[in-house]
Amino acid sequence: MVKKVRAHHFRQMKHERTPITMLTSYDALTARIFDHAGTDMLLVGDSYGNVCLGYDSTVRVTLADMVRATAAVSSAAERAFIVADLPFGSYEACPEEAVHSAVELVRAGAEAVKLEGGRRQAHTINAIVQAGIPVVAHIGYTPQSQNALGGARVQGRGDAAEEVKADALAVEKAGALAVVLEMVPAETATDITASLEIPTIGIGAGNGCDGQVLVWSDMAGMTDWQPSFVQVFGQVGQALTAAALDYNEAVRTRQFPDAQHSFTN
């Protein structure tokens, strides 16, 4: 019997210094694989737009897109805790809108929602938590604000470290379950991690966080380019290309299907 990972386990893991693993997933196929591999959290990230929908940013992803992806992931995962991103435009206007959007994601199978923003979103985080929905906050570099931030760049260098720390403390106070730190200097992320009761999950934030998250297609070598902070743990893209080449060749030379893969009367 699989022991389901639940919201309360993450503080316990931080306390016991057990690193938390999180990977993105947008479909049932990868969700089943990552779940069986023992990944603690599956993030139905709005990177869905870049990875699966061919967009060049996350801002075009809609709540309907996220609902469909969340339903697919939750249908396949047995153990992992499922976090779904609130997409751009689904929570910024007011806390009521945010609660409404979060409810849609929970109905689709999310066990927590993630939203981007620190102090400026504290009120909204609190409203969603009060509605009974766990929230993961996302601070540092926040891709939905890429236009305002001037592109993907490290946040919290030098004096700006205090700004990121103030965001982290604010989301904890607002009731967040955990906080993602994206593209934050390792020393800043380590200091924030030591200052919080809730776990930090880093992406491009060094080794001092309580957990790590990566976009699955980056870590599995599905793309020609990855951000510099990504380690490639497998060459799945190359393996898939080789399989497709072999298949094409076998069909064209009529080696597939052979007798073993054909029905007989």
Alpha-carbon dihedral sign for residues 248, 251, 255, 257 = positive
Q: Which two tokens stand for residue 78?
A: 């047995």
167 annotated ligand-binding residue: no
CA angle 42, 9, 130 (to 5 degrees): 85
Answer for the pair 82, 110: CB distance below 8 angstroms, yes or no. yes
- H/E stretch holding 22 reads strand 20-24
Cα separations in angstroms, 118 against 74, 125, 177: 27, 9, 13
Q: Does 180 bind ligand KIV (CB under 6 A)?
A: yes
Q: Does 220 bind ligand KIV (CB under 6 A)?
A: no
159 annotated ligand-binding residue: no
Q: What's the closest the beta carbon of residue 157 comes to ligand KIV, in angstroms?
A: 19
In the complex with ligand KIV, the residue whose CB is nearer, 47 or 74, is: 47
Q: Does 193 bind ligand KIV (CB under 6 A)?
A: no
Which residues in the 124-143 window bind ligand KIV by CB under 6 A? 138
191 annotated ligand-binding residue: no
Q: Does 203 bind ligand KIV (CB under 6 A)?
A: yes
Q: What's the closest the beta carbon of residue 203 comes to ligand KIV, in angstroms?
A: 5
In the complex with ligand KIV, the residue whose CB is nearer, 1 or 148, is: 148
The CA distance from 56 to 104, in Å, is: 25
Q: Which two tokens stand for residue 155?
A: 């946040």
CA angle 120, 112, 64 (to 5 degrees): 85
**182 part of the active site:** yes
Q: How many residues bind ligand KIV (CB under 6 A)?
A: 11
In the complex with ligand KIV, the residue whose CB is nearer, 190 or 217, is: 217
Q: Does 178 bind ligand KIV (CB under 6 A)?
A: no
In the complex with ligand KIV, the residue whose CB is nearer, 206 or 256, is: 206
Cα separations in angstroms, 42 against 33, 131, 218, 256: 11, 22, 15, 37
172 annotated ligand-binding residue: no
Q: What's the closest the beta carbon of residue 215 comes to ligand KIV, in angstroms?
A: 5
Catalytic position from the list 104, 111, 172, 182: 182
The CA distance from 248 to 256, in Å, is: 9
In the complex with ligand KIV, the residue whose CB is nearer, 5 or 215, is: 215
Count of H-run helices and E-run strands, the chain: 11, 8
What is the SS3 assignment for 129? helix
Helices 186-195/161-173 angle, 10° precision: 30
Q: What's the closest the beta carbon of residue 72 comes to ligand KIV, in angstroms?
A: 15
75 annotated ligand-binding residue: no
Pattern 9-48, ligand KIV, x by CB under 6 A: ---------------x--------------------xxx-
> Active-site residues: which are they?
182
Which residues participate in the annotated binding site for 3-methyl-2-oxobutanoate?
Answer: 46-47, 85, 114
The residue ranges that bind ligand KIV (CB under 6 A) are: 24, 45-47, 85, 138, 180, 182, 203, 213, 215
